Amino acid sequence: MNSNLEILEELGISKEVAEFGNKIILELEERFKAIDETAEYNQLKVIKAMQEAKVSEACLLGTTGYGYNDIGREKLEEVYANIFHTEDALVRPQITCGTHALALALMSNLRPGDELLSPVGKPYDTLEEVIGIRPSKGSLKEYGISYSQVDLLSDGSFDYDNIKKAINEKTKLVTIQRSKGYQTRKTLSVTQIGELISFVKNINPDIICMVDNCYGEFVERIEPTDVGADMVVGSLIKNPGGGLAPIGGYIAGKKECVENAAFRLTSPGLGKEVGASLGILPQFYQGLFLAPTVTASALKGAILAANLYERMGFDVLPNGTESRHDIIQSITFGKPEGVIAFCQGIQAAAPVDSYVTPEPWDMPGYDAKVIMAAGAFVSGSSIELSADGPIKPPYAVFFQGGLTWPHAKFGILKTVQNMVDRGLFDLKSIQ
């Protein structure tokens, strides 16, 4: 018989490492079952949305030029609005990435004199230049839009007293980042986000509550727009693109918010009416269709990594048993060799560029060398199995993605094998 252990061995995974992995996976059976059930729910939610919008074969064709009457684009936006239970949505290949989608949502809904508030601490790195925390051309700050921030309390909860103090008559929009991104705080659950939004709306119901939904889509059965968010924003080369979307971003929310964004993306007066979809619609539709199960695979991979590395004695965040609200996993190695062994393992397990060995490198915008592993079909896609880590204390790696569960599992086993082969971990220590 051609056994899985045999082919794993041909791919460089020893029987001992494979068995260690399988033993942990057996213990995770219940959690994986719950993830599959959520994936089933979300899969049906996506199908229902596509059926209700009467998606047809003609929707896959696309347009050129101005892109007037692009039925596929219009239906896709209806499907997104349906999934997020919002009045409208903007889903476009002309939105180049997550940062662009967030910048668009902010810049189109804020006006000179308004204030933006982040009640959940520092936003994602790339937003610092959008807001003007770090000076940049065209930032909100340059347009006279001010920014204030309230950090989370040390236990990760909301600092309601200071949030209340920070809200003033200029406060127009509150931005809430669901995922921890590359910080060490906990990721917010949709329920927590709902509590925060209620608090803000109680003070002033006119404040627009926007959620940076990156890495969070389809992890739970509800989305932030189900608990009061006026807008959710994300990237199509993360969860909702299902690994197939090669570019793009989305904004789903209140009609006025989405209209503002559309007028900014194209032009005042043109809004959503233009923007040819070219040949991209099959990947957008099919990627969205696959997104719930792809997200589930990535989640299982993150949970496996947490449990394996926790058993191996490393600090992991989230820990092995915590509930999950995004697909990011971090592991702290305490020394550079661990970060390097991990990232090189992920790369070596990739379907593309597996023969390339990533090394720590100086990167623009970073104050330390960084090592990155990605053997992706879509360049930079982090719904595909990927990992990166700065070479500086505490020597932590951030790991996410996995289009299929077998690939996520294989990649993680490969990292463990590297740890064993390089003398960074002794399998005997856990027996």
Ligand X SMILES: *Cc1c(COP(=O)(O)O)cnc(C)c1O
List the one residue out of 112, 230, 121 whose CA is nearest residue 170. Answer: 112
Report the site for ligand X in 206-225 (rule: CB under 6 A).
212, 214-215
CA dist 251 and 321 (Å) reads 32
Least spacing, CB of residue 79 vs ligand X, in Å: 21
145 DSSP 8-state letter? -
Using the minimum distance from each CB to ligand X, give the nearer residue, 235 or 297.
235
Least spacing, CB of residue 21 vs ligand X, in Å: 27
Least spacing, CB of residue 202 vs ligand X, in Å: 26
Least spacing, CB of residue 347 vs ligand X, in Å: 19
93 near ligand X, rule: CB under 6 A: no
293 near ligand X, rule: CB under 6 A: no
Least spacing, CB of residue 159 vs ligand X, in Å: 20
Instruction: Provide the mask over 164-203, with x wherever binding to ligand X is found by CB under 6 A and - wherever it is not.
Output: -------------x-x-x----------------------
Pair 175, 106: CB distance under 8 Å: yes
Least spacing, CB of residue 97 vs ligand X, in Å: 4
Using the minimum distance from each CB to ligand X, give the nearer residue, 179 or 330.
179
Using the minimum distance from each CB to ligand X, give the nearer residue, 178 or 272.
178
Report the site for ligand X in 366-385 (rule: CB under 6 A).
none
Number of helical (H) and strand (E) elements in the chain, helices listed first: 12, 13
Least spacing, CB of residue 236 vs ligand X, in Å: 9
Using the minimum distance from each CB to ligand X, give the nearer residue, 70 or 217.
217
Using the minimum distance from each CB to ligand X, give the nearer residue, 341 or 371.
371
97 near ligand X, rule: CB under 6 A: yes
Tell me the pairing of strands 386-390 and 396-400.
antiparallel
Pair 101, 265: CB distance under 8 Å: no
User: Which region, judged by CB under 6 A, interacts with ligand X, from 37-45, 69-77, 92-100, 271-279?
Assistant: 92-100
CA dist 184 and 156 (Å) reads 10
Edge-first strand order for the sheet with 249-253 is: 88-92, 249-253, 231-235, 208-212, 171-177, 115-118, 146-149
User: Which residue in 86, 99, 183, 283 binds ligand X (CB under 6 A)?
Assistant: 99
What amino acid occupies position 355? Y
User: Which region, judged by CB under 6 A, interacts with ligand X, from 27-35, 44-52, 93-101, 284-292?
Assistant: 93-101
Q: Cα Rg for the chain, rounded, in angstroms? A: 22
CA dist 221 and 190 (Å) reads 9
How far apart, in Å, are the Cα atoms of 91 and each of 154, 216, 233, 258?
37, 17, 10, 10
Using the minimum distance from each CB to ligand X, give the nearer residue, 95 or 416.
95
Count of residues near ligand X by CB under 6 A: 13
Pair 385, 244: CB distance under 8 Å: no
Q: Which residue has the tokens 């939004």?
A: 197
Q: Work out the number of other CB atoms within 10 angstroms of the CB of residue 34.
A: 11
Tokens of 420: 């064993």
Q: How far apart are the first and last CA of the chain?
A: 29
Which residue, judged by CB position, is nearest to ligand X in the bound state? 98
User: Which residue in 124, 314, 395, 410 binds ligand X (CB under 6 A)?
Assistant: 124
Least spacing, CB of residue 166 vs ligand X, in Å: 21
Tell me the pairing of strands 231-235 and 208-212.
parallel
Using the minimum distance from each CB to ligand X, give the nearer residue, 181 or 240.
181
Residues that bind ligand X (CB under 6 A): 97-99, 102, 124, 126, 177, 179, 181, 212, 214-215, 235
